Amino acid sequence: MKMRQHDFSEDCDNEETKSPKVFQDLTNATLNMIHEFSNNVIDDTKIIASWNLDREKHLLQWGESNGVKTRVDIAYVEGDGRGGIAREDL
């Protein structure tokens, strides 16, 4: 059984014509995934104000005092745990 050797020059010729379509397909797939995810997000997210986040808030304050600019606060979200939450509508 004789194996055919692949001609990579054919791939190079087709690369230029395939690239825009590949990138467009990737863009479309990414946007579809974002839309699907956002449709599944629960609108009534509960922020737990009583959760002790002193360490995280001190770290945030330290960063700001050393020149770090941020648009997030530290919060505890019910069911998801702690993380950053936007201070303003971005």
Token look-up 């995934």 returns 33
Q: Give the Cα separation of 57 and 62 in Å (integer).
A: 9
Domain ranges of the chain: 8-86
The model's pLDDT over 29-70, given as tens digits with 9 standing for 90+, comes to 999 998 888 777 666 677 787 788 888 889 989 999 999 998
Token look-up 């395939």 returns 18
Return the closest-CA partner of residue 53 out of 31, 77, 21.
77
Token couple for 33: 């995934």
- 31 in helix, strand or coil? helix
* Global confidence as pTM: 0.44
Q: Give the Cα separation of 70 and 86 in Å (integer).
A: 9
